[in-house]
Amino acid sequence: MKDIRVGMIGTRFMGRAHSNAYINVGYFFPTPLHPVLTAACGRDEINLNMFADRFGYQSTETSWERLVRRDDIDLVDICTSNATHLPIALEAAKNGKHIFCEKPLALNAHEARQMAEAAEEAGVTHMVAFNYRRVPAIVLAKQMIDQGSLGRIYHFNAVYYQDWLSDPKSPYVWRNDVTQAGSGAHGDLNAHTVDLARYLVGEFEAVSGIQQVFIKERPRQDGTMRRVTADDATGFLARFQAGAVGVFMATRLATGRRNLLRFEIFGSQGSLVFNLERMNELQFYSGDDPDQRQGFRTILVTDKPHPYISAWWPPGHIIGWEHAFIHETYDLLVAIESGAPAVPDFRDGLKCQQVLDAVQDSSLQGRWITLRGA
Amino acid sequence: MKDIRVGMIGTRFMGRAHSNAYINVGYFFPTPLHPVLTAACGRDEINLNMFADRFGYQSTETSWERLVRRDDIDLVDICTSNATHLPIALEAAKNGKHIFCEKPLALNAHEARQMAEAAEEAGVTHMVAFNYRRVPAIVLAKQMIDQGSLGRIYHFNAVYYQDWLSDPKSPYVWRNDVTQAGSGAHGDLNAHTVDLARYLVGEFEAVSGIQQVFIKERPRQDGTMRRVTADDATGFLARFQAGAVGVFMATRLATGRRNLLRFEIFGSQGSLVFNLERMNELQFYSGDDPDQRQGFRTILVTDKPHPYISAWWPPGHIIGWEHAFIHETYDLLVAIESGAPAVPDFRDGLKCQQVLDAVQDSSLQGRWITLRGA
Amino acid sequence: MKDIRVGMIGTRFMGRAHSNAYINVGYFFPTPLHPVLTAACGRDEINLNMFADRFGYQSTETSWERLVRRDDIDLVDICTSNATHLPIALEAAKNGKHIFCEKPLALNAHEARQMAEAAEEAGVTHMVAFNYRRVPAIVLAKQMIDQGSLGRIYHFNAVYYQDWLSDPKSPYVWRNDVTQAGSGAHGDLNAHTVDLARYLVGEFEAVSGIQQVFIKERPRQDGTMRRVTADDATGFLARFQAGAVGVFMATRLATGRRNLLRFEIFGSQGSLVFNLERMNELQFYSGDDPDQRQGFRTILVTDKPHPYISAWWPPGHIIGWEHAFIHETYDLLVAIESGAPAVPDFRDGLKCQQVLDAVQDSSLQGRWITLRGA
Amino acid sequence: MKDIRVGMIGTRFMGRAHSNAYINVGYFFPTPLHPVLTAACGRDEINLNMFADRFGYQSTETSWERLVRRDDIDLVDICTSNATHLPIALEAAKNGKHIFCEKPLALNAHEARQMAEAAEEAGVTHMVAFNYRRVPAIVLAKQMIDQGSLGRIYHFNAVYYQDWLSDPKSPYVWRNDVTQAGSGAHGDLNAHTVDLARYLVGEFEAVSGIQQVFIKERPRQDGTMRRVTADDATGFLARFQAGAVGVFMATRLATGRRNLLRFEIFGSQGSLVFNLERMNELQFYSGDDPDQRQGFRTILVTDKPHPYISAWWPPGHIIGWEHAFIHETYDLLVAIESGAPAVPDFRDGLKCQQVLDAVQDSSLQGRWITLRGA
């Protein structure tokens, strides 16, 4: 099997999740390429060395510019903060590297378009790490919709609830700074639900949004207060091109909800509900069930015929959150080897960003914004 | 105990639910007045007689004008379609009758204001039948919020899902006609969630809405098609005066959800979730719980110290949907006897209607609408 | 419509639940007989008068012997403590009264047999108030089983959890006294699950039980301690004649479970789960569902085609615990009027008692007890 | 860091789960030893080579006798069928290897005692792979009990439901053969619940059991039928030394339940419920909560202060079933390095086996069996 030499940029949460996926994918899936952890890159040397040691990276770099130019790197994996995605991706494309980039793809659609165009022109494989597209329950949802089991879709409603900023005294972090993060809950959380909406029910037509900073300033480590510029919460209404209507809400102040992404899809023939905190389950209602026996059924998505599951354990033995990364890494490797486009690619990342941007514009202008085609 | 002589207008779903409440309230609550089912009024004589027979009304009327003028009626109960609320209420007020009116109070705020002013001038007791304010779990939610257990409230998100119009072939009914119903899902379902939002987190400041008719025409009994003018679904964003932000969605096409009103309230200290299909339960999360032991707890609201419950059965013996009507009827009778204002009164009905109107205006204009004070 | 004149013996919890049913049944069901609350009987005169006033009983008696002999009583309703069921029922039968008796039918099978034989010889209608047979979800379960939707049944597992005796300091009551109550959790709670097991999967063949008094003495009102003789908890294993195997547990020390009766039925083709605290729901798993879409579905048993439901409200508007009493009262009145046997009758009460007795014997003897036919 | 050289015997489900754990433990936990996958052993050479290739074992053996005698093996991991545990473990002990053995430890207590004694005499580290002791929610349950949060424990009720044998036509496998498997559902599933009961509420005092073969014969691959000798289901009643009472049921015919281990623990002060299909959650009821606010709370056991969780992901990002193996492998390595006894060790395996044996004896004899001390 051929090696694929990975250059990882970013050593925190996502760096760990991606590294875990590279290590494990081959133990469970018939990967066409063998990922080699060739180099890790980070700015804090101490942390970088710990990270590289732990996951077995063969070398380190403290400059991403150097990493993306190295001859012995085939795939650049971008797990850094949002503001750095653009320059890294452009340089990686220029150097002919395949690119795997964390979401949201960029700070805005303008940046995302540059990234998509650069990657396309370079002819490299490019993928955005919308990992929830690889949750078996969500893939099953997609299959059901494609098979027509829901009929015509009326509604796609979604929330993404976290609560790590509920406490007004929780300290200021870079994610509170709009210049570094692009946005707050919106780009971080709505990016996921917008991508899932596109995956499951198609393109958006128009949106009307509201963005809110509830806690206007937060304490820095030295005790002084700093103004928060990134949204704590962003909600929006949406109309889809295919006619569905939806409401969305992302917030980091949903006290008690650690990481609850929930979508509810209602169609003329059936309905689906998904909840990330119970990500091995999919709720399905079928209008075809006999009159007296209709109800939402809880499908425990751990059976052999379920997507990705045959690689894992017997029925009823649930998988964890990070397994979705293993699945997407598998799909990425297949795409790279085959030369077929990865899904979702930077063009998807751009389309997602256009929706996010429209919500922000709408919020500023107090009116609906119609999406133009990407 | 003094009698209170009830004149019931309307013999369908709500007429039955209210009649049941008048009959039963005295068996379980220390009512200060004894409801006498003096007269029932309906247009279809056969149905009217069956209704009056079943519930033991002493007389019938086919003209509401006659009923509201009868000397032997103390309380007029309006359970008719929305378009008739205004004339009945005005005439009842003129005749010095107490008035109990189904929701939504009127077709629009203009009507609702006339009703509120007429009732206030007449000095009668007036109440809008927002029955969910009398669900024990919701009263408990209110108590918790008032006690500060949620801290500062960030979010009030609510949906009201029904599915009786999911099937494009389900027949045309008066509720599909905007001239008779005022609106569709919006006035019927959002009226409840708007009232609950006002009850629990206070007044609205601004809204942005979307209304949708998914099924443009429906079959009449003779097989011909008739155009649907009332909304199948209405969603909206809201900002509250106290700073909270919310998303709302009401729809009659939520396939598989028979009657799911759900609200989620997130505050700085705690959170609450309610689901009408499990109306004896309240989900409560407290940030005060110890670190390792935090989670949403399911309070089965059937214990003696819970609101209204001491009148009923031992713990764990759940009550039904119609019990909320018994509770509100009890409160209405207490208000009438004491002379204190009933809650929610027509002024509340008006305020609810103003929010509903603003959502409709917003939907037409494609922009946010700010509420002016009532 | 003919009247049926009711003589109610017992004025506490069950007296209230039955009275409520007599009052309401006619408003919702096409009863062939009109229940008249002719007389109420209790030992405590103050309480008796309050009870009779509240529910509108036309007269009172402090001696049940007098009540059961009154010419103006057609139906004797026994809602007293278990030890008095036998004498009342025998005297009622002797006087040709129809008899509706609370569960468990008697202190033991010996008594129950006398009651069944006396009622049969008298030719009166007799029914045991196993109200859970009239919960719509449970009737639906029965229909599914009868239609073969579960295939061959392997397991019937049931628990009945209450917690009002969890606290060692909770005061001594008559239910802790085996001479008055016959048994504790066993006769009170297992009586229900044993009856439901017989209703749903047929006769028992053999049992092995354990009975436990966890709190050996409890405080009386005067502060002195009194020895507890009735079981706090009784569990047992069972083998059914049709081959199923089950485990049962009834306890009043299930802290946090106010009134949780749960059964789980597993068959070769499908399965059912019921939970009394969510009594409007039935969980159903069908092995006939397609491979990828199998799961327990939550049927909200509030649709028109569901048992008893067409009498009530639209879909999704749940009914309460006491509605099962209204349903069983309706069925009782139909049986009385038609002369057909009521179900479950005293013979069922006897068969239930034989199982309960066998569990007690087994517990004492430390071995399995085989049931002999009734 | 020192290496620990692993010899893996068995290449199926458990072989895969253990291999995964050895590979991953070091990426997430501060292991004191570095596991080296030195040799894998299996009887089917083709399958063995695939397995060894996939997980990177450095060598293979088709004879376990050879493997356990190799000088370059420090730790023997026994993942074979139950009947082979004894000879392998004895030989491994004789050769001074540390031993990690799958559950149940042996076919019966007689064997288990030999294994425990051999391992103790050899002075090696020995551990039984009761992986559910390393589920964070279960460790949290243990901590709560140890802290007294449940008060005096009244009940430990447990089920282990699987359904892979529900279909009478599902093919005969070695697990249906009592001579190879020792028992069926009993040893496989009750082994887990008995171990958890011991872990959480202490030693058993007496049991009364029932074992059932529902499907008397099953088809072999050649279409002929073979008699089933291992139990499809085993239930039992239990009394614990500390006074609690419990019911247990293990079955492979619980149609619709793929892998549902559930325990319910009721104490005088609080209660706990765990369900393996939602293994990241623990239900906790505290009697200390204020009157109006009592209820079972769902603790999502993914917060930093929860057991083992700080090694993984942020709150709300759930872990999978196999993570418990990683946790137990970490604990095993710590035990080996420190020389402290591993928990649970073969002595625990023996005690579990004694309970299992007593249930089997009880089932045969139709009476209660009292446990003697181990």
Show residues of chain A in contact with D318, CB under 8 Å. 277, 279, 318, 320-321
Q: How confident is the model at residue C342 (pLDDT cuts 50, 70, 90)?
A: very high
Q: Which two tokens stand for residue A309?
A: 């599951």
**Cis bond leading into D315, ω under 30°?**
no
Q: A46 CB contacts (<8 Å, ≥6 apart)?
A: none
> Phi/psi of residue B147, each to 5°?
-80, -5
A275 to chain B, any CB pair closer than 8 A? The answer is: no
**Cis bond leading into C104, ω under 30°?**
yes
Show residues of chain B in contact with D298, CB under 8 Å. 295-298
pLDDT single digits (tens) C95-112: 999 999 999 999 999 999
For residues A332 and A344, give the distance between their C-alpha atoms in angstroms, rounded to a whole number. Answer: 10
pLDDT of residue D180: 87
pLDDT single digits (tens) B134-151: 999 999 999 999 999 999
Mean pLDDT (whole number) for B258-273 = 98
pLDDT of residue B353: 98
Q: How confident is the model at residue A251 (pLDDT cuts 50, 70, 90)?
A: very high
Mean pLDDT (whole number) for A118-140 = 98
Contact (Cβ atoms closer than 8 angstroms) between residue D39 and residue D129:
no
Show residues of chain A in contact with B294, CB under 8 Å. 256
Instruction: Flag whether pLDDT at C373 surpasses 70.
Output: no
Give which of C260, C239, C253 is closest to C362, Cα–Cα.
C239
For residues A176 and A183, give the distance between their C-alpha atoms in angstroms, rounded to a whole number. Answer: 8
Mean pLDDT of chain B: 97
B316 to chain D, any CB pair closer than 8 A? The answer is: no
Place of tokens 């009170």: C188
| Domain D137-342+351-365, CATH class in plain words | alpha beta
- Give the type of residue at B133: R
Q: Which of B11, B53, B302, B313 to mutate to test the interface with C (most CBs of C within 10 A)?
A: B313
> Coil, helix or strand for D142?
helix
Q: What dihedral angle (degrees, nearest 10) is formed by the CA atoms of B197, B200, B201, B202?
A: 80
Helix (H) or strand (E) holding D52: helix D45-55
Strand partners, A35: A4
Neighbours of chain C (3+ CB pairs under 8 A): A, B, D
pLDDT single digits (tens) B36-45: 999 999 999 9
Show residues of chain D in contact with C257, CB under 8 Å. 266, 271
User: Do β-strands C75-78 and C2-9 pair in parallel, antiparallel, or remain unpaired?
Assistant: parallel
Q: How confident is the model at residue A373 (pLDDT cuts 50, 70, 90)?
A: low
- The reply to whether residue A233 touches residue B245, judged by beta carbons under 8 angstroms, is yes
Q: Which of B280, B291, B292 to mutate to test the interface with D (most CBs of D within 10 A)?
A: B292
Place of tokens 């189904």: B102
Please report, for residues B312, C85, C373, the alpha-carbon distance to residue C20 in angstroms, rounded to integers and kept in the order given: 11, 21, 37
Q: D84 CB contacts (<8 Å, ≥6 apart)?
A: D64, D78
Contact (Cβ atoms closer than 8 angstroms) between residue D238 and residue C224:
no
pLDDT of residue C180: 87
pLDDT single digits (tens) C148-184: 999 999 999 999 999 999 999 999 998 999 998 889 9
Neighbours of chain B (3+ CB pairs under 8 A): A, C, D
Q: Which two tokens stand for residue D72?
A: 């370059």
Show residues of chain A in contact with B160, CB under 8 Å. none
Mean pLDDT of chain C: 97
> Chain B closest CA to A139's CA: distance in Å?
21
Show residues of chain C in contact with D168, CB under 8 Å. 152, 268
Q: How confident is the model at residue C221 (pLDDT cuts 50, 70, 90)?
A: confident
> Phi/psi of residue D46, each to 5°?
-60, -50
Instruction: Flag whether pLDDT at C224 surpasses 70.
Output: yes
Show residues of chain D in contact with B290, CB under 8 Å. none
Place of tokens 């529900």: D166
Q: Which of A159, A281, A303, A313 to mutate to test the interface with D (most CBs of D within 10 A)?
A: A313
- The reply to whether residue C295 touches residue A295, judged by beta carbons under 8 angstroms, is no
For residues D198 and A170, give the distance between their C-alpha atoms in angstroms, rounded to a whole number. Answer: 41
Q: Which two tokens stand for residue A176?
A: 């509170």
DSSP tag of B367: B
Strand partners, D286: D270
Q: B17 CB contacts (<8 Å, ≥6 apart)?
A: B131, B322, B325, C313
Q: How confident is the model at residue C239 (pLDDT cuts 50, 70, 90)?
A: very high
Q: Which CATH number fits domain C133-342+351-365: 3.40.47.10, 3.40.50.2300, 3.30.360.10, 3.30.300.30?
A: 3.30.360.10
> Chain D closest CA to C312's CA: distance in Å?
30
Q: Which two tokens stand for residue C27?
A: 């408003």
Q: Which two tokens stand for residue B105?
A: 């109070």
Identify the CATH number of the domain defined by range D2-132: 3.40.50.720
Residues constituting chain A: 374
Contact (Cβ atoms closer than 8 angstroms) between residue A213 and residue A228:
yes
DSSP, residue by residue, B33-54: EEEEEEEEE-S-HHHHHHHHHH
For residues D216 and D261, give the distance between their C-alpha atoms in angstroms, rounded to a whole number. Answer: 25
Instruction: Flag whether pLDDT at C374 surpasses 60.
Output: no
> Chain A closest CA to D131's CA: distance in Å?
13
Q: Which two tokens stand for residue C155?
A: 């397991």
Contact (Cβ atoms closer than 8 angstroms) between residue A181 and residue A187:
yes
Q: Which of C14, C318, C323 to mutate to test the interface with B (most CBs of B within 10 A)?
A: C318
> Phi/psi of residue B334, each to 5°?
-60, -45
Show residues of chain B in contact with A236, CB under 8 Å. 237
Instruction: Flag whether pLDDT at B278 surpasses 60.
Output: yes
> Which of A:194-233 have CB within 8 Å of B?
208-210, 212, 214, 232-233
Contact (Cβ atoms closer than 8 angstroms) between residue A374 and residue A351:
yes
A264 to chain D, any CB pair closer than 8 A? The answer is: no
Q: Which two tokens stand for residue D100?
A: 């990690």
For residues C28 and C327, give the distance between their C-alpha atoms in angstroms, rounded to a whole number. Answer: 10
Strands (E), chain A: 2-9, 33-41, 59-61, 75-78, 98-101, 126-128, 153-161, 204-212, 217-219, 225-227, 233-240, 245-251, 260-267, 270-275, 281-286, 296-300, 369-370
Mean pLDDT (whole number) for B318-339 = 98
- The reply to whether residue D254 touches residue C271, judged by beta carbons under 8 angstroms, is yes
- The reply to whether residue A321 touches residue D313, judged by beta carbons under 8 angstroms, is yes
For residues B115 and B93, give the distance between their C-alpha atoms in angstroms, rounded to a whole number. Answer: 8
Q: Which of D143, D293, D304, D306 to mutate to test the interface with B (most CBs of B within 10 A)?
A: D293
Q: How confident is the model at residue A255 (pLDDT cuts 50, 70, 90)?
A: very high
User: What is the interface pTM, i.e. ipTM, of the complex?
Assistant: 0.96
Mean pLDDT (whole number) for B222-239 = 96
What's the gap between Cα B224 and its chain centre?
A: 33
A282 to chain D, any CB pair closer than 8 A? The answer is: no
Q: What dihedral angle (degrees, nearest 10) is formed by the CA atoms of B16, B19, B24, B25?
A: 120
- Give the type of residue at D1: M
Strand partners, C281: C300
Q: Which two tokens stand for residue A301?
A: 């998505």
Contact (Cβ atoms closer than 8 angstroms) between residue A85 and residue A101:
yes
Angle at A186 between CA A181 and CA A187, to 5 degrees: 45
Question: Is 3.40.50.1980 the CATH classification of the domain at C2-129?
Answer: no
- The reply to whether residue B254 touches residue A266, judged by beta carbons under 8 angstroms, is yes
D255 to chain B, any CB pair closer than 8 A? The answer is: no
Number of CB atoms found within 10 A of residue B289's CB: 18
Neighbours of chain D (3+ CB pairs under 8 A): A, B, C
Please report, for residues A164, A170, B20, B197, the alpha-carbon distance to residue A223 in angstroms, rounded to integers and kept in the order given: 19, 12, 62, 37
B258 to chain C, any CB pair closer than 8 A? The answer is: yes
Percent of chain C with pLDDT over 90: 97
Give every residue of chain D whose pLDDT is below 50, as ranges.
374
Task: Determine the longest span between alpha carbons in chain B, in angstroms.
Answer: 66
pLDDT of residue B372: 82
Contact (Cβ atoms closer than 8 angstroms) between residue C52 and residue C60:
yes
Residues constituting chain C: 374
C303 to chain A, any CB pair closer than 8 A? The answer is: yes
- The reply to whether residue D237 touches residue C236, judged by beta carbons under 8 angstroms, is yes
Contact (Cβ atoms closer than 8 angstroms) between residue B7 and residue B41:
yes
Instruction: Return the sign of the alpha-carbon dihedral for residues A266, A271, A276, A277.
Output: positive
Least confident of B320-334, C174-188, C271-285: C174-188
Strand partners, A159: A249, A262
B279 to chain C, any CB pair closer than 8 A? The answer is: yes
Q: Which CATH number fits domain A134-342+351-365: 3.40.50.150, 1.10.599.10, 3.30.360.10, 3.40.640.10?
A: 3.30.360.10
Show residues of chain A in contact with B243, CB under 8 Å. 214
Q: Which two tokens stand for residue C44?
A: 């405590």
Select the residue of A247, A257, A267 nearest B247 (Cβ to Cβ). Answer: A247
Q: Which two tokens stand for residue D120?
A: 């103790």
The domain segmentation of chain B, as residue ranges, is 2-132, 134-342+351-365
Percent of chain A with pLDDT over 90: 97
Percent of chain C with pLDDT over 70: 99
Q: A325 CB contacts (<8 Å, ≥6 apart)?
A: A17, A18, A20, A21, A129, A131, A134
DSSP, residue by residue, D226-293: EE--S-SEEEEEEEETTS-EEEEEEES--TT-SSEEEEEEEESSEEEEEEGGGTTEEEEEETTS-GGG
Give which of A102, A73, A69, A68 is closest to A85, Cα–Cα.
A102
Strand partners, B4: B35
Instruction: Flag whether pLDDT at B198 surpasses 60.
Output: yes
For D298, nearest residue in chain A (alpha carbons): A256
pLDDT single digits (tens) B147-185: 999 999 999 999 999 999 999 999 999 899 999 889 999
Show residues of chain B in contact with C302, CB under 8 Å. 258-259
- The reply to whether residue A292 touches residue C299, judged by beta carbons under 8 angstroms, is yes
pLDDT of residue D46: 96
- The reply to whether residue C320 touches residue B323, judged by beta carbons under 8 angstroms, is yes
Q: Which of A150, A272, A293, A308 to mutate to test the interface with C (most CBs of C within 10 A)?
A: A293
